[in-house]
Amino acid sequence: MAMKSVAKDAGAKAVGEIFRVAGPVVTATGLRPRMYDVQFVGGEQLMGEVIQIKGDKTIIQVYEDTSGVKPGEPVLDTGAPLVVELGPGLLGSIYDGVQRPLPVLQKVMGDFILRGVKSPGLTREKAWKFVPKVKAGQAVGPGDVVGSVQEAKNVEHRIMVPPNFRGGKVAEVRDGTFKVDEVVARLDSGEQVKLHQTWPVRKPRPVKERLMPTVPLITGQRVLDFLFPIAKGGTAAIPGGFGTGKTVTEQQLSKWCDAQVVIYIGCGERGNEMTEVLSTFPKLEDPYTGAPLMDRMSLIANTSNMPVAAREASVYTGMTLAEYYRDMGYNVALMADSTSRWAEAMREISSRLEEMPGEEGFPAYLSARLSEFYERAGRAKTLAGLEGSVSVVGAVSPSGGDFSEPVTQGTLRIVKVFWALDTALRARRHFPAINWLTSYSLYSQILEDWFRKNVNEEWPRLRAWAQRTLQEEAELEEIVRLVGADALPPDQALTLEVARMIREIFLQQNAYHPVDTFCPPARQFKLIDAIKKYSDLGQKAVKLDVPVKDVAGLKSRELLTRVKYEAEFDKELEKTLAQMDEEFKKLGAA
């Protein structure tokens, strides 16, 4: 292919030449590009991004495999940064790290990902019914909504004036069915609003004002909502060694959290996990709207064996999608599994650049990048004056399961919620293996109000009681280890029993059980309240010299362990509580 026509094809600004190829990092000469502008590298036009400029040399990270690429081949500078397409059709989709739709890649290349294929993020074929929300003559500014498209059964996709427009009076707004690259509104500034807009992934989308998070992101996971809640617009890290439950937790949140839109980034992890989401989510119902769960999701899948540079970009791609839905006034939840693989991609690129390494070979700017990323989360008033949020939950995979490593530490300095996965709990199959003594949430105070008003006045008190009991258990266990369980006075022996109930009945939650997998806050409260009641009655009985063994052996206790699995939870709990009363009455304690 003649170089000139290549240049024309790609809309290139300038053409240079490859000087050096070292894995995903390619050096070119003869270009004068801007940092982070997209380049097409080699005869096959592999997509890449400028990551360093050194005199006449431009250093490019390439998103595709560079085997066989030679010095002397052309490099085209597009003069534009890496952008994603934002518009109807994002939901229900699955993309690679640079927003190429995987089904399209499959159609073009077959079952294996080859290279050199370009594809827009949004299909040009589908037409959407657009309903205008503004009239001609009305003034609109950046971020304002001009109309909407019903993207999924329960998601109204608001078409907005792009944030980088000046805005003006609506000169014309069209009603009807449009494809994503068609114009739906014209402004008197000469600007045209299309059904889709583009945005550079590395640049946060602007908001009018940042707001404090005050509302919890309900997850339906007892240990999270009750002990360590995350706010809508909050940030959480979930570090843990291999097999401790990061992915299961991220998937549980994707299924059951009460966000309107979920963006799931499979960043350098397993292909089969993506398949699992693709095969199970469409069959599950969103518990809040009844629509198929896949309809509120967008998946970014850049698995461990896909190119590392695209993995590096994938978290930004995902974040930009999340911000876009936030700008429509939605609560968005972003899952990133795993941020460690992203950090490793940075490390690999950095080492190819022969940069001076920081701790464990990670680049010195690792923690700055982590902060910038998590700072894009938050609750905000959008440019249109709506309220929206992006909550971020990042899995961290510390090497050797050791939390002192740089990615875990860098993350913990920024995020407000720490869900510590514990290898010892995993080994006992206590799932979710979240350590209740070391985990924390800095939102729990702020969110108390909400739980008091919306679930039960007693929520904070019960929470404090449960935490105290678990703490006491840890202290008593020290004693038991030294002198044996027999040495404990009856009230403390009972505390151990109650703590065990909190752990086994309340904290443990089976993600694979059809009922137990999702436990709404009201039910969480009833369950812990029942355990508290058992504890109170038990302590009374013990004071009346009933042996702890008898209290612990009550039938109602066994029933209580099973009630969380019951589809008819309320009815079964009633029965159990009645039986509890009955049994304690017999012991003389009710």
Ligand X SMILES: Nc1ncnc2c1ncn2[C@@H]1O[C@H](COP(=O)(O)OP(=O)(O)OP(=O)(O)O)[C@@H](O)[C@H]1O
Q: Is 56 in the site for other proteins (CB under 8 A)?
A: no
Site for other proteins in 215-244 (CB under 8 A): 241-243
Q: Is 148 in the site for ligand X (CB under 6 A)?
A: no
C-alpha of 43 from chain center: 37
Q: Is 340 in the site for Mg ion (CB under 5 A)?
A: no
What string marks each residue from 236 to 255 as x (binds Mg ion by CB under 5 A) or -? ----------xx--------
Cα separation, 243 vs 408, whole angstroms: 17
Q: Is 23 in the site for ligand X (CB under 6 A)?
A: no
Give yes or no for a contact between 264 and 301, defined as CB atoms under 8 angstroms apart.
no
Stretch that binds other proteins, among 65-73, 168-176, 253-261, 456-464 (CB under 8 A): 65-73
- Out of 243, 287, 357, 358, which residue is the one contacting ligand X (CB under 6 A)? 243
Site for ligand X in 502-521 (CB under 6 A): 509-512
Residue with tokens 């795993």: 338
From the CB of 413, what's the least distance to other proteins, in Å? 22
Contact partner at residue 400 from ligand X, other proteins, Mg ion, none, CB < 5 to 8 Å by partner kind? other proteins
- Out of 100, 115, 246, 564, which residue is the one contacting ligand X (CB under 6 A)? 246
From the CB of 215, what's the least distance to ligand X, in Å? 25
Produce one character per residue of 302-323: b if its CB has 16 or more CB atoms within 10 Å, e if not.
bbeebbbbbbbbbbbbbbbbbb
From the CB of 426, what's the least distance to other proteins, in Å? 9
Residue with tokens 């549980």: 252
> Which has the closest alpha carbon to 248: 565, 524, 510, 567?
510
Contact partner at residue 111 from ligand X, other proteins, Mg ion, none, CB < 5 to 8 Å by partner kind? other proteins
Site for ligand X in 157-216 (CB under 6 A): none
From the CB of 560, what's the least distance to other proteins, in Å? 11
Cα separation, 258 vs 58, whole angstroms: 45
Cα separation, 431 vs 260, whole angstroms: 27
Cα separation, 426 vs 240, whole angstroms: 10
Contact partner at residue 113 from Mg ion, ligand X, other proteins, none, CB < 5 to 8 Å by partner kind? other proteins
Look up residue 167 and give its two tokens.
Answer: 């805005």
Q: Is 397 in the site for ligand X (CB under 6 A)?
A: yes
- Out of 55, 72, 190, 514, which residue is the one contacting other proteins (CB under 8 A)? 72
Q: Is 398 in the site for ligand X (CB under 6 A)?
A: no
Q: Is 412 in the site for ligand X (CB under 6 A)?
A: no
Q: Is 308 in the site for other proteins (CB under 8 A)?
A: yes
C-alpha of 239 from chain center: 13
Stretch that binds other proteins, among 80-88, 156-164, 267-275, 366-374 (CB under 8 A): 267-275
Q: Is 116 in the site for ligand X (CB under 6 A)?
A: no
Q: Is 565 in the site for ligand X (CB under 6 A)?
A: no
Site for other proteins in 324-383 (CB under 8 A): 341, 344, 347-348, 351, 357, 360-361
- Closest to ligand X by CB, 247 or 260: 247
Q: Is 306 in the site for other proteins (CB under 8 A)?
A: yes
From the CB of 253, what's the least distance to ligand X, in Å? 11
Using H for helix, E for strand and C for coil, what is the string for 406-420?
Answer: HHHHHHHCCCCEECC
Cα separation, 311 vs 346, whole angstroms: 9
Q: Is 495 in the site for Mg ion (CB under 5 A)?
A: no
Produce one character per residue of 348-358: b if its CB has 16 or more CB atoms within 10 Å, e if not.
bbbebbeeeeb
Give yes or no for a contact between 240 and 423, defined as CB atoms under 8 angstroms apart.
yes
Residue with tokens 């589908």: 126
Tell me the C-alpha to C-alpha distance, in Å, between residue 26 and each of 36, 60, 69, 313.
14, 5, 9, 17
- Closest to other proteins by CB, 169 or 562: 562
Which residues face 266 on adjacent strands? 301, 337
From the CB of 342, what's the least distance to Mg ion, in Å? 14
Cα separation, 269 vs 340, whole angstroms: 10
Site for ligand X in 255-284 (CB under 6 A): 269
Give yes or no for a contact between 217 and 257, defined as CB atoms under 8 angstroms apart.
yes
Cα separation, 271 vs 279, whole angstroms: 12
Residue with tokens 């022969």: 354
Cα separation, 523 vs 585, whole angstroms: 26
Produce one character per residue of 4-16: b if its CB has 16 or more CB atoms within 10 Å, e if not.
eebbeebebbebb
Size of the site for other proteins (CB under 8 A): 66
- Out of 54, 135, 283, 429, which residue is the one contacting other proteins (CB under 8 A)? 429
From the CB of 469, what's the least distance to ligand X, in Å? 22
83-86/168-173 β-pairing: unpaired
Residues at the contact surface with Mg ion, assessed by CB under 5 A: 246-247
Residues at the contact surface with other proteins, assessed by CB under 8 A: 19-23, 27, 65-73, 94, 102-103, 105-106, 109-114, 241-243, 266, 268, 270-272, 274-276, 278-279, 301, 303-306, 308, 341, 344, 347-348, 351, 357, 360-361, 397, 399-402, 427-429, 484, 486, 512, 558, 561
Residues at the contact surface with ligand X, assessed by CB under 6 A: 240, 242-248, 269, 397, 431-432, 509-512
